[in-house]
Structure 1
């Protein structure tokens, strides 16, 4: 066979690797018996590899160690693997179900634990499946490969070989065999055909071709990053780091992709590793300063920005100093309970760059709670990034993260999520046992949750007077967070007992704490109807129809109240 003067590509090397290990596979078949054959209705099996005299004389042990026999891994995509059909194989005719042929083999064929280049290919395929979230790429038995979609299918080479193209990609008729290329027409592996034509080929196929060159993997990661495929970029940078962890650019590029995915704390760790490898890496210093600014750590941001004089500008440092000043003003105003200043300065800090800072978001949400803007506080924390307790405590400190959790517990109570509030407040107390504020929030959350649970049980048992008393016990614990839920529930008990005046009072109190509480407004409107206060009920229904425009009960009640008012005026 005439070898090309140019070295074979990565994909072509798979064919050469397959030829060299054919002799060892033949000996393995003699030991373990012939493999079972999977019959396929639509897809032809790959032809058996031809063992040439040259291949038989070559010592395969120097290339591939003797494979270990392992149980065949179950396939998840419903397609049977293609394997060479031995002449002694006697299988029953396959019956097609849902377009996929099934085999009548008695037992699954053994699979081989690959080593060397084949093992590396298996790992690359596994990494690709983990990133893409798909299982449509697999290795078949007997050293042959079958790949779908992302890497195309393997066509048998040679004159009369059957095609292994998937029936899903075949538009009809018999597909033409692929022409021989790279001098490996009769290796038994065939040619690799792309699943879909595109400029530059599939990124993973190119990654396989350059799997021994970390610089090529980095370039592929850069391409994926520019196209907005950040998860794929992270996977490619990871492969480059595995091959050469001493290159700071790999860590820095991966940090940029992680930041684009919102995984800022992981990005900080990778940037710090890049700086550790090369303390003079200006771009990593600049990127690390920007990450710390977004996380609300202006002192660290200023420190790293100053070490990156080439990339950072005086405007970047000035902006970080502004964020530092605003956070200090927020803390001072909080001590004075000047919630308007806290809200203004925290919103300005977010606009200046601290858009993912948990502490700044918590200051903003707490100010909204104190200003009776509960729904806005809930929306603020829902839009803020959530980090794990351990990584947050490590980066921000236990005291700072305990404060964030304490505010989150208060917002959960105001929104009626009492069980979540208890768990979150308990974690805050564990992080900062010396915090009296966290301990008070935890006690109040447990009291409100217990009172609502006991009152709900009594209400379901139609013991409305006792349920009123149970809800009242929770209200005696002090604190506004959670009181809106208890007041609204107690108003329902008063309405059941015919005490509509008291029901109106409790609903008014709940709306004072939480103005957007639609259930309390609806109950107050209903109680006012019972008291024939048509004008008051009309105002509540007019607000409700704006909040719940598709609610048919509200529409019907509003029409009845309007008709009643019109009849009185007439």
Structure 2
């Protein structure tokens, strides 16, 4: 008993020295350790700790309060004030304080000081998001999720710093869905709504977002493929269907859509392969359509082999109408046939009506040789219309893709020659050396006798030299391959006026007036020719 009494006094003196004069502590305080019976006035439920630890480690303070020593094997203590008052000790309590002008020994504050230091270090490491909340006037910290303590609200102190605009622009539905739901099915459904409304760009964005969330959903790929097809991006639509089939090899809808896409591209064998694997999605009409298209394409191939260009023009039109409306090769066949028939303007219009694919997609789908053949036809049309620089660039790309192609190398040599002679002739024309300009344009025409641009350039030089008859001949030859060549028709009308061939001049001017109704030069030329013809008849 004596030893216990001395120990109590020693402990009481120790705690009194450290905390006895802290005005923040109320006179009466009790500490709940979890094993105290429910006799407190606050009806605080506590955990049932070990009774032996409770008896040996709870001591009486000088002010009547009970204090709990730190248990050696527990990382958390709950300190509950009897009056439910929360009182924070100032930061200075962690420092060495003085009592009655005397410095308190370091040993007297070692426990509380070290604990406070550990807590402060922990908070510094964790930042401001720590869940520790001071619940009493002691040095113990509580986890906020324990007890009925008020939780700190995240971002509570940042409202003043983060000012929000009074009238922010409302986000669009698809981005709102991306920001709030991140539900791939809902994104897909929103995409379907936009697709049905014709908003293909928005639909594609939503389908892409759904694929980003769930990239292994085959149906999302087919929906995106449908939107790409509607946008005219056929080759990209094919890639999406291929990916859907790779994910789900027996996906009937993907096979059906891919089969129809191959029909549009004129690749009948691939179309038949996928239509046969489309299950209930495909019917006999699709198979019959593919067979009819195959017959048309076979006739196109035969006509090209026999070089029967009129037949080739007819059969390519039939194949396009049969469903292969997105095949670049059918349009290239037709354009090449029209060039052979010296119908340059129609050849250019044919390529303009055809599908537009970039080189990367064409190489990926048709291979480098197939893309090189398409570039050769495009370059030939460019040369025929005097776009020599474009033709040369296309030929160079074709040769890089297929260096062994004799047709590509021959066409590139021709494009270089035409571009060179046109450049030389233009330089002579700028210096008013019309005679040498005529010679240079003539050398270019030796490589391409029906080139409309070179014919017109030489006609202008002939007119400058006073040889209007030769100028009219060149203009007529240019118009024979390119009826809509306005400059050539206007030059012929001027030359006929100079030769006082008023009927021929009026005929050209009237055609030009229909094509360019607001052209003042045409109006004045027509008026003059009509007046001169009237004077000739009356005089």
Residue among 249, 273, 277 paired with 2:247:
277
Give the conservation status (yes or no) of the 8 Å contact 1:372–1:515.
Answer: no
Give yes or no for the alignment of 1:564 onto 2:535.
no
Counterparts of 1:255 and 1:218 in 2: how far apart (Å)?
13
Tell me how far 1:416 sits from its aligned partner. 2.3
Q: Structure 2: any 5+ residue segments left out of the alignment? A: 1-125, 131-147
Give yes or no for the alignment of 1:431 onto 2:431.
no
Give the conservation status (yes or no) of the 8 Å contact 2:190–2:206.
Answer: yes
Secondary structure of the residue aligned to 1:397 is: helix
2:471 paired residue number:
503
Tell me how far 1:460 sits from its aligned partner. 0.8
Secondary structure of the residue aligned to 2:194 is: helix
CA RMSD of aligned residues (A): 2.6
Tell me how far 1:543 sits from its aligned partner. 2.1
Give the conservation status (yes or no) of the 8 Å contact 2:345–2:481.
Answer: no
Tell me how far 1:539 sits from its aligned partner. 2.2
Counterparts of 1:206 and 1:25 in 2: how far apart (Å)?
32
Counterparts of 1:533 and 1:390 in 2: how far apart (Å)?
54
Q: TM-score, normalised by structure 2?
A: 0.69
CA deviation string 1:320-377 (max 9, x = no partner): 2222222221122122221221111111111111111110111122222233332232
2:167 paired residue number:
165
Tell me how far 1:468 sits from its aligned partner. 0.7
Secondary structure of the residue aligned to 2:447 is: coil
Aligned length: 395
Counterparts of 2:153 and 2:349 in 1: how far apart (Å)?
73
Give the alignment of 1:282-361 within 5 angstroms.
282-361=252-331
Tell me how far 1:221 sits from its aligned partner. 2.0
2:174 paired residue number:
203
Give the conservation status (yes or no) of the 8 Å contact 1:221–1:232.
Answer: yes
Q: TM-score, normalised by structure 1?
A: 0.65
Give the conservation status (yes or no) of the 8 Å contact 2:185–2:210.
Answer: yes
Of structures 1 and 2, the one with the larger relative CO (CA 8 A, separation 6+) is: 1
Give the conservation status (yes or no) of the 8 Å contact 1:225–1:233.
Answer: yes
Question: Alpha carbons of 1:451 and 1:537: their partners in 2 closer, same or farther (altered >3 Å)?
Answer: same
Question: Alpha carbons of 1:54 and 1:358: their partners in 2 closer, same or farther (altered >3 Å)?
Answer: farther
| Bigger radius of gyration | 2
Give the conservation status (yes or no) of the 8 Å contact 2:509–2:522.
Answer: yes
Give yes or no for the alignment of 1:467 onto 2:437.
yes
> 201-210 vs 285-294, which deviates more?
201-210
Counterparts of 2:456 and 2:346 in 1: how far apart (Å)?
20
Residue among 499, 502, 523 paired with 1:531:
499
Q: Structure 1: any 5+ residue segments left out of the alignment? A: 1-23, 29-51, 61-82, 87-141, 147-152, 154-163, 170-193, 196-200
Give yes or no for the alignment of 1:239 onto 2:335.
no
Give the conservation status (yes or no) of the 8 Å contact 1:207–1:220.
Answer: no
Residue among 152, 168, 191 paired with 1:56:
152
Give the conservation status (yes or no) of the 8 Å contact 2:174–2:206.
Answer: no
Give yes or no for the alignment of 1:540 onto 2:511.
no
Residue among 398, 408, 423 paired with 2:368:
398
Counterparts of 1:557 and 1:53 in 2: how far apart (Å)?
97
Question: Alpha carbons of 1:341 and 1:55: their partners in 2 closer, same or farther (altered >3 Å)?
Answer: farther
Counterparts of 1:388 and 1:165 in 2: how far apart (Å)?
43
Tell me how far 1:533 sits from its aligned partner. 2.0
Tell me how far 1:84 sits from its aligned partner. 4.2
Question: Alpha carbons of 1:54 and 1:377: their partners in 2 closer, same or farther (altered >3 Å)?
Answer: farther
Question: Alpha carbons of 1:57 and 1:453: their partners in 2 closer, same or farther (altered >3 Å)?
Answer: closer
2:334 paired residue number:
364
Tell me how far 1:546 sits from its aligned partner. 2.2
Counterparts of 1:479 and 1:420 in 2: how far apart (Å)?
20
Question: Alpha carbons of 1:267 and 1:53: their partners in 2 closer, same or farther (altered >3 Å)?
Answer: farther
Residue among 184, 193, 200 paired with 1:214:
184
Counterparts of 1:514 and 1:260 in 2: how far apart (Å)?
34
Residue among 480, 483, 486 paired with 2:454:
486
Residue among 376, 382, 386 paired with 1:412:
382
Counterparts of 1:451 and 1:220 in 2: how far apart (Å)?
59
1:120 paired residue number:
none
Give the conservation status (yes or no) of the 8 Å contact 1:426–1:442.
Answer: yes
Give the conservation status (yes or no) of the 8 Å contact 2:475–2:492.
Answer: yes
1:136 paired residue number:
none
Give yes or no for the alignment of 1:452 onto 2:422.
yes
Tell me how far 1:463 sits from its aligned partner. 0.8
